Structures are given as C-alpha cells and as structure tokens.
Amino acid sequence: MMQSVARLTATRRFILASQSPRRYDLLHDCGLHPEVIPSRFEENLDKSAFRMPELYAMETANNKAKCVFADISRKEPERPIIVVGCDTIVVVDNQVLEKPQNEEEAVKMLQLLSNKTHFVHSAVAIYTSVRGIGSPHIFSEKTLVTFQDLSLHAIKAYVATGEPMDKAGAYGIQGLPLVIRKMELVSYLQWNQDEQVASWPVSRDV
C-alpha cells in the first residue's frame, strides 16, 4: 500500500495539515515527505453532538484537512494536491481527553488513566483533488491501552519533562513504554461521504 501512496504523492503536492512532529516523523519513516501547513480550524466542535467519540475525532480531522484543502485549492485550482488531517483523542470512563491546558490538568489526566484501560481514537482525513474538486476519505482506528499503577511522584516527574503538554490524554506512547501493560488495536471505523458508518475488527491493511 505504501508504495502506491508514494507513487501518488510523487505527482501531487502532498500536505500534512498538522504541525505535530510525531505525525511528520511517522510519514517520513514510511518514505513520505509531506509539506507541513497547520490547519486554521479552531478545534471547537461540541463533543455532545456526536453519538460516538470516534465520530468527534473524525469530524475534527476532516475539518483540519478541509480548511487547508480549501485554502490551497483557491490559490492553485489546477494543481493536484493531497491533504492529510489527523486528530487523536483518549477516552476513559466515558470522558474525552484531549491536550491538557496546563501541568495541573496533565497530572489529573494521568491520575485518571493510572491502573485503568482506556481507548485511543486516531482519526485521519485525506483529501485528494483533480482540478480543485476534493474527494475525502475519513477513517479512525481504536486502540485499547492499559496503564500500570502510576505513583503521583512518577506522574509529576513525567509532566515536568513537558512531553505531555501537546498530546491527547497527556502522554505519548513513545514516552511511556514502561507503564503500558497492554496495547491492542481493536477496531476500524470508516465514514463515507453519505455519513454511513461501518465498523469491523482490524486485521487488514487500510
């Protein structure tokens, strides 16, 4: 699959609508080299308007990509482009956790996650164009993550590093490998243009 994506991006302007270094690195590791243009979308959707948390993440990713796609298409209507927007949320005890606003909130989030199982929803929206006409593909993957019991001292020490401050749920998988007891990809969700939803266990290439 990645070979076909690489061929596609070679003939189109390829844009990542995110300033996340981790997302850029993931694409770079796959042999893809996107141009980074952060989205101007304010990420202010009403969570209560969505019947499933992953739909909230998918719509946020969609709006991020759509804003950048619209801006570029107005400036270069004839140029083929690909725009990728992403969003990640953490859900525990029916609460949606996004990026913490301050260190105190980061500590509270990690205390909430300690010794519990939670879901990480990773949503992606991909817009491709021919002559300025966009064709979006939106999907989300859900990962089940279980934390070990974390002491307050360990939590505060981790928060003091600054790493949690730009991450949903106040942590990054790469930064907390020793506290994760279990991690399992459990489902894949796709949202087509008619807003119909299908879900099935993931043991496939997307």
Report d(CA 157, CA 115) in Å as an integer: 17
Q: What are phi and psi of 89, to 5 degrees?
A: -130, 155
Among residues 87, 149, 166, 205, the one annotated as catalytic is: 87
Task: Evaluate whether 14 touches 79 at the Cβ level (below 8 Å).
Answer: no
- Does residue 87 have an active-site annotation? yes
Task: Evaluate whether 58 touches 125 at the Cβ level (below 8 Å).
Answer: yes
Kindly tell me the sign of the dihedral angle through the C-alpha atoms of 45, 47, 51, 53.
positive
Query: What secondary structure does DSSP assign to 127-182, as a single string?
Result: EEEETTEEEEEEEEEEEEEEEPP--HHHHHHHHHTSGGGGSGGG--GGG-TTTEEE
Kindly tell me the sign of the dihedral angle through the C-alpha atoms of 108, 116, 172, 201.
negative
Task: Evaluate whether 56 touches 79 at the Cβ level (below 8 Å).
Answer: no
Question: What SS3 state is found at 67?
Answer: helix
Nearest alpha-carbon partner for 126 in 78, 81, 168: 81
Catalytic annotation, residues: 87
